[in-house]
Chains A and B, each alone.
Chain A
Amino acid sequence: MRATNRGPLLSAGVLLGVGLGGFFDGILLHQLLQWHNMLSSHLPPDDLVSAKVNMFWDGLFHAFTWLMTLSGVVLLWRAGQRPDVPWSTRTFAGAMLGGWGLFNLVEGVIDHQLLGVHHVKPGPNQLAWDLGFLAFGALLLLAGWRLARRGRGERTARWVPGIPRDTVHEPTG
């Protein structure tokens, strides 16, 4: 049987890419560089109470990001147990890159452009930073799509029917 159903692996990779991309954004831009917080345009964190309220919403953002990552791990685990899903590194890596790009695009368009709840780097050049963030997301999405496309020919499942799944590889030495 040839494994041709890439959907489960692609969706697992995209969810993991979204999750890890979200953590990258939250850790680097919210916490380390402190360029923005979740609601920093509506509620500037310029006193302790405002900073703590923003911290709460940042935490909620991270909680949803964590759920995306967990869902990705679950989907990946299930994909690895299906004989119709190809176990393709290019497909998976491409989906992860694409997922990160998708996160940047969706979050950038909704939060930065449409709702304006925060901007990448508030200040005189905030539009340029926001557009750069979107361009970076588009580049990631394009690179991921091209990489995943190159994995279309990989059609071997991780689990092949007829080979026991509970085969244990004993360590040598």
Chain B
Amino acid sequence: MGKTRHTACARGRLPIQGMPRMRGAAATVLVAVLLAAPAVSACTTCRPAVQAGIFDERFWGRLAITVLPFLVILLVVAVLYRARPRAFPGEEQAG
């Protein structure tokens, strides 16, 4: 039983006959059900206000503020990456 299951999984199929076709249909149904769930359409009245609050004239400035610390950190990491290896006294310099 275990061996059969392992072989079937290795081929990317479920062990039950007919399941590969059903998987696509099941996934479609699952996505449809999830999209139809009340949580997806929650807050319908406030969503335009949220979008307006995000994508206003301050968007690019706020994006720059959010990215800035990461850019500084990437600069430090680039310097670290390119740092020349240091040898101990009496050792040959690598590279």
Q: Are B81 and A8 in contact, with the CB atoms below 8 A?
A: yes
A105-121 vs B, Cβ < 8 Å mask (1 yes, 0 no): 01100110001010000
- Known contacts A5-B94, A52-B46, A53-B50; A64/B65 CB under 8 A: no
A8-36 with Cβ < 8 A to chain B: 8, 10-11, 14-15, 18
Contact: B82 with A53, CB < 8 Å?
A: no
Tell me the interface secondary structure of chain B in the complex. Answer: helix
Q: Mark B46-83, 1 if CB is under 8 A from A, else 0.
A: 10011001100000001101111110110011101111
Judge whether B69 and A110 touch: CB under 8 Å: yes
> Which of A8, A53, A107 has the largest number of chain B CB atoms within 10 A?
A53
Q: How far is the CA of A115 from the CA of B68 in the complex (A)?
A: 11
Q: Is the interface of A mostly helix, strand, loop or mixed?
A: helix
- Asked if A147 is at the interface (CB within 8 A of a chain B CB), the reply is no
A6 close to chain B: CB less than 8 A: yes
Task: Tell me, yes or no, whether A57 is within 8 Å of chain B by CB.
Answer: yes
Instruction: List 13 extra interface pairs beyond A8-B81, A14-B80, CB under 8 A.
Output: A4-B94, A5-B85, A7-B80, A7-B81, A10-B81, A10-B83, A48-B43, A52-B53, A60-B66, A106-B69, A106-B73, A110-B69, A110-B72
Using a CB–CB cutoff of 8 Å, the interface residues on chain B facing chain A are 43, 46, 49-50, 53-54, 62-63, 65-70, 72-73, 76-78, 80-83, 85-88, 94-95
